[in-house]
């Protein structure tokens, strides 16, 4: 058995810096945070820049096929990408986002609101970047219950006490 | 017969692990939890989950595309 005790004595711990808020990029931090918490780690997430809106009460996440040649979706047995010129057409981004959400539901992939709720339930510590709150003019009232406010020094303190630190 | 049964079929990563963790709360110490899953990734994941959490993976196998795990709550 791998020891679950960290070198600092307590349970192992992990921190994540969450910088991206599109539908696709929202997955890695929430999947890893919830799984690590389920495996007994103390988990902290620091939401900054475009990652910060992932804490908003109302989530309507979108992804963009524009400039993303790696994004392909299975359509009738083939892997379909989207040329940039097509992605530029109004409504295409919303349609692609809807397609991805449908695909995820079909494949039994959890939604981001579901994973976020599970993270909160598992006592994942969430820190909202104060500077980004000011920059984009958000208040804590816009956010779900639970996140605390903090800055770079708050995160660095968390990182110095964590066994795993990830930037996503 | 395990003390608890968790049907995680049709669910994808990381839901089988998250639901198993929740289900373990209702299992008495030393008791067992049987999990059914269809996510092929769950085979490696339940082994890693048990190594890290200290719970014991008593059995794991596959039949007709359904993976079956029996965990003993030892942590």
> In this predicted model, what pLDDT tens digit does every residue of A71-116 receive, in sequence order?
998 888 899 898 999 999 999 999 999 999 999 999 999 999 999 9
Across the interface, which of B13, B39, B53 has its CB nearest the CB of A4? Answer: B53
Q: What is the DSSP letter of B15?
A: H
What is the number of CB-based contacts under 8 A between chain A and chain B?
43
Q: With beta carbons under 8 A apart, name residues in chain A contacting B38.
A: 108
Q: Is this prediction's ipTM beyond 0.85? A: yes
**pLDDT given for residue A1 in this prediction:** 47
**pLDDT given for residue A31 in this prediction:** 98
B53: closest CA of chain A, how far (Å): 6
Question: A38 and B17: CB-CB below 8 Å?
Answer: yes
**pLDDT given for residue A2 in this prediction:** 53
The catalytic residue among B5, B7, B12, B13 is B13
What digits encode the pLDDT tens for the residues A128-147? 999 999 999 999 999 999 99
**pLDDT given for residue A162 in this prediction:** 96
Across the interface, which of B11, B53, B54 has its CB nearest the CB of A108? Answer: B11
Question: What mean pLDDT do residues B48-70 have?
Answer: 96
What digits encode the pLDDT tens for the residues B10-33? 999 999 999 999 999 999 999 999
Closest Cα in chain A to B9:
A108
**Bigger pLDDT: A6 vs B39:** B39
Chain B residues with CB-CB distance to A under 8 A?
A: 10-15, 17-18, 20-21, 38-39, 49, 51-54, 75
Average pLDDT, chain A: 93
**pLDDT given for residue B1 in this prediction:** 77
Tokens of B25: 């709360």
**pLDDT given for residue A150 in this prediction:** 96
Active site residue B13: yes
């Amino acid at each position: 058995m791998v020891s679950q005790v960290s070198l600092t004595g307590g349970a192992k711990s992990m921190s994540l810096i969450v910088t991206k808020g599109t539908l696709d990029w929202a997955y890695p931090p929430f999947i890893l945070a919830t799984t690590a918490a389920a495996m007994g780690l103390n988990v902290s997430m620091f939401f900054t820049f475009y990652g910060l809106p992932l804490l908003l009460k109302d989530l309507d996440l979108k992804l963009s096929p524009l400039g993303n040649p790696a994004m392909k979706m299975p359509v009738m047995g083939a892997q379909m990408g989207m040329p940039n010129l097509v992605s530029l057409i109004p409504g295409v981004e919303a349609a692609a986002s809807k397609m991805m959400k449908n695909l995820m539901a079909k494949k039994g992939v959890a939604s981001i609101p579901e994973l976020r709720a599970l993270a909160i339930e598992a006592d994942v510590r969430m820190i909202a970047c104060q500077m980004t709150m000011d920059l984009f003019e958000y208040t804590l009232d816009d956010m779900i219950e639970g996140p605390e406010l903090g800055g770079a020094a708050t995160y660095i303190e968390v990182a110095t006490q964590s066994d795993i630190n990830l930037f996503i | 017969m395990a003390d608890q049964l968790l049907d995680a079929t049709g669910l994808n990563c990381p839901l089988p692990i998250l639901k198993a963790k929740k289900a373990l709360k209702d299992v008495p110490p030393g008791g067992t939890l049987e999990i059914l899953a269809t996510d092929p990734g769950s085979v490696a994941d339940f082994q890693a989950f048990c190594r890290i959490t200290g719970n014991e993976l008593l059995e794991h196998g596959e039949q007709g595309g359904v993976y079956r795990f029996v965990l003993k709550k030892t942590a």
